[in-house]
A and B are shown apart, each in its own frame.
Chain A
Amino acid sequence: MHRKTFLLGTALCALAAQAQAQDEMTCKGEVPTLNVIGQGMPAVTALDDKLSEFNDKWDTEVRITMLGENERRAKARLDASTGAGAYQVLYIDEANLAEYVSAGWVYPLDEIVPESYDLGDFRTDLSNVATVDGVQYFAPFVGGGDVMMYRTDLLEQAGIEPPTTLDEMVAAIKTLDEADNGAHGWSARGQRGSGMNVWRWTPFFRAKGGEWLDEGDMPAFNGEAGVAATELYTELMDYAPPGIATFNWSDSVEAFRGGQVAILIESDVFGPWMEDPEKSSIVGKVGYAPPPDPLPSAGWAHGWAVSKVGASDDCAKIVAGDFVGWATSKEMEQRRLEAGIASDIGRTSTLQSDSFKELVPQDYIDALLETGPKTDLLIMASPVWPEIGDTLGLTLEEIFSGTRDDVQAALDEAAFFAEDSLMRLK
């Protein structure tokens, strides 16, 4: 490194440190409470016993309101859109990002998070999901793609190799369901919601060649691909635990780690959940692989963003920005690993760390690496996606629960609704 560059770098770091110290001097005690909308992911709940450090730093009190996924989205939307601004930090995800950015509810990340938190270290796949038109809006702490989890003991018993194609997987599910092994062949999400059943249905839809919109930007998910995907998804539900028509991700994952299911495709973040000896009855009996071809992997990311409505004054903006940086910092991720939490990883440096490799099986890491190239944002990237996705989710739940049996007519109705949403957007 040249001497000049070194000196310039040192000077910039010193300036940044000085600026941050000044912020602390000016804003300490100026924000009595920092309200945060949260969702019960391990990365969020793990903050509980560390909040006092942040509270002491800014002489504030961080209050995290924990909500379920759908409620969290509704609450954040209501808070920002009505101008109430009760929350300074919002929990945000891939499904809402386009809506929040187009409505101007959140700050670009680099405007509010201090550079010292090394924004460049966030995982590229997650940062891509958090970015609109080249600007990153939230700091991801969890996300990724899909992974196929299967019971190695049951597959071995039945003499089946881990499936590598969709057809093989369907055949394996049927065989494993029929076998006298105390487990169902498959599980999936049935409960309505753009982030629920639609999320898991979408890879099937894409695998069948489906596109959300046609050339005229009108809904096309009611075409042949949509019908074929829905029929296959519904058929697979016959090999799943009872009640699957209203299963959310938690029901599905718990059924698998409770030993009731042989094959499951879920978000890769749930892999380490299967290796938790306190909560899982199948530790050491799970194999991991990418979703079988041609199923793509549904890319997603959850993270923290700062609300323009809730943090409109300078100090609220500074404290909220620092919270986002602190809560998603490298140090915080290492502390989570020390506590045995390996599911929520937002940073490249953490993925490469030895402490991560110690906590998860090697074939899980291999599956993650293999799935990476198949991972993409599969949902419709549109501000009206939440309402289109939720309506489609309702339609799918009606089909899964047997309330409706004409798949084409049901999808046509959802597409008709989506057309209205898209027209209003224009």
Chain B
Amino acid sequence: MTRKRFVTLTLVPAIGLLATLALVSIAGAVWFAVMNRTLRSPDYDFVGAYNFLRLLRDRRFFNALEISAIWEAVTVAGTLALAVFLAVLIFETVKKPLYRNLICFAFLVPVLLPRVAAAFIWRFLYSPSLGVLNYLCGLVGIGPVEFLADPSLALISVAAVDIWQWGLFFSVILLKLLETLPRDPIEAAMLDNARTWEIHAFVTLPMLRGPLISLALVKAVESLRSFDLIFVMTGGGPGTATETLDLYAYQMGINMGGRISYASAMSLLLLVVTTVAFTIIWKAGKKWAS
């Protein structure tokens, strides 16, 4: 048996299983999307592209699309920015391995918290009348701030919790990566009198380009699955200020009258949009890394 044939034969079962699982659910979603199935009634009819055409006239759908895009951009960029800042800060200021390890351990705690638990904790912290954050704001004469009830603040307030959970975790990964970098280029830069920030901006971080792209993609995929966090903290509100596509699909499909066909059409559009977007980002990232 040739090596190529061996590799193909061993991969076929796994790929076959994954493809079956993906295709069956996608086929199910397509089937639902061309019907007018609701949870309330067992009767349904074929309606063709009606659900997709209705989506194109749905103000809330486009709002959800916009909120999803903003959510992705803010949480991915915020997480990476916080991670890079903290990793470099610790790398430069904390030299003792014991202290570094203690900090790393502390930074891992938020991501180990279940999302729902984190959401409840922060919901109380943000509370305008009982929350610690508003108490602190009050000490400096600000507030009370309606972090979750003000439409202009709600999305960023929830995103801050996501960034808190993942940014600290990623900073641990980046710190460990910084520690493994070869010293020669850094020392060469130091001999050239480069300042600390210049060393990191032009030497260490470009060396970590590949891992940074991978982390960004991992975070982007993870951010798409933030339903639980947003659902617990705001339920998509106030109004539709934090209603992402998955939340809207849930509201339509399960919560509000069970229009599962409409929700399936929405999920399919989400699948297409994310597949296209991720392909473009992946290709751009690979080009930048090479």
Q: Do these two chains really belong together in a complex?
A: yes
Which candidate, A53-61, A77-85, A171-179, A213-221, is the interface stretch facing chain B? A77-85
Contact call B149/A403, Cβ cutoff below 8 A: no
Residue on B with the closest CB to A184? B129
Q: Which residues of A contact B148 (CB under 8 A)?
A: 243, 246
A258-270 interface code vs B (CB 8 A; 1 in, 0 out): 1010000000000
Docked-complex contact A387 and B257, CB < 8 angstroms: yes
Contact B257 A403 (CB under 8 A): no
Given known pairs A78-B254, A190-B149, the reply for A246 and B237 (CB within 8 Å) is yes
B146 smallest CB distance to A (angstroms): 5
Residues in B neighbouring A236, C-beta threshold 8 A: none
Q: Any chain A CB within 8 A of the CB of B210?
A: no
Stretch at the interface among A109-117, A118-126, A312-320, A393-401: A393-401
- Asked if B78 CB lies within 8 Å of chain A CBs, one says no
Are the C-beta atoms of B237 and A397 separated by less than 8 Å?
yes
Report A325 CB to chain B, min CB distance, Å. 29
Q: Which of B129, B134, B145 has the most CB of A within 10 A?
A: B129
Q: Cβ of B150: which chain A residues have Cβ within 8 Å of it?
A: 401
- Give 1 or 0 for each of A75-105: 1 = CB within 8 Å of chain B CB: 0011001100000000000000001001100
Are A398 and B41 in contact, with the CB atoms below 8 A? no
- Distance A260 CA – B134 CA, assembled complex (angstroms): 15
What B residues does A383 contact at CB under 8 A? Answer: 40
Q: Does B226 lie at the interface of the complex (its beta carbon under 8 Å from any beta carbon of A)? A: no
A102 to B39, CA, bound (A): 12
> Is A146 in contact with chain B by the CB < 8 A criterion?
no
Q: Which of A103, A243, A386, A387 contacts B149 (CB 8 A)?
A: A243
Of the four ranges (under 10, 10 to 19, 20 to 34, 35 or more), the interface on chain B belongs to 20 to 34
Q: Which of B144-195 contact A (CB under 8 A)?
A: 144-146, 148-151
Given A103-B41, A391-B256, A401-B149, A191-B235 contact (CB < 8 Å): yes
Q: Do B239 and A242 touch (CB < 8 A)?
A: no
A192 touches B235 (CB 8 A): yes
Q: Which listed residue, A77, A394, A424, touches B39 by the CB 8 Å rule?
A: A77
B interface footprint on A240-260 (CB within 8 Å = 1, 0 otherwise): 011111100000000100101
Cβ-defined contact, B235 with A386, below 8 A? no
Instruction: Say yes or no: A244-B256 contact (C-beta < 8 A), given A191-B235, A383-B40, A400-B238.
Output: no
Say whether A9 faces chain B, with CB atoms less than 8 Å apart: no
Residues of A within 8 A of B144 (CB): 242-243
Assuming A191-B235, A191-B237, is B129 touching A245 (CB within 8 A)?
no
Residues of A within 8 A of B240 (CB): 394, 398, 403
Contacting residue for B40 out of A103, A190, A191, CB 8 A: A103
Contact B257 A242 (CB under 8 A): no
Residue of A nearest to B254 (CB): A74
Whether B239 contacts A243 by the Cβ 8 Å rule is: no
Chain A min CB distance to B138 (Å): 11
Q: Which residues of A contact B129 (CB under 8 A)?
A: 241-243, 255, 258, 260
C-alpha spacing A394/B257, complex, angstroms: 14
B196 at interface by CB-CB < 8 Å: no
Least distance between B274 CB and chain A CB atoms (Å): 24
- Contacting residues, chain A, for B38 (C-beta < 8 A): 424
Q: Which residues of A contact B256 (CB under 8 A)?
A: 386-387, 390-391
Nearest residue in B to A82 (C-beta to C-beta)?
Answer: B39
Chain A residue at minimum C-beta to C-beta distance from B144: A242
Given contacts A74-B255, A78-B254, contact A403 B241 (CB under 8 A): yes
In the assembled complex, 8 residue pairs joining A and B whose CB atoms fall closer than 8 Å, in A order, are: A74-B255, A81-B258, A246-B235, A258-B130, A260-B129, A386-B256, A400-B238, A401-B237
By Cβ-Cβ distance, the 9 closest A-B pairs, closest first, are A387-B257, A401-B238, A398-B239, A242-B128, A81-B39, A403-B239, A243-B128, A242-B144, A243-B149
| Other A-B pairs beyond A77-B40, A255-B129, A391-B256, 12, CB < 8 Å | A103-B40, A243-B144, A245-B149, A245-B238, A386-B257, A387-B258, A390-B257, A401-B149, A401-B151, A401-B237, A402-B151, A424-B38
Interface residues of B (CB under 8 A from A): 38-41, 127-130, 134, 143-146, 148-151, 234-235, 237-241, 251, 254-259
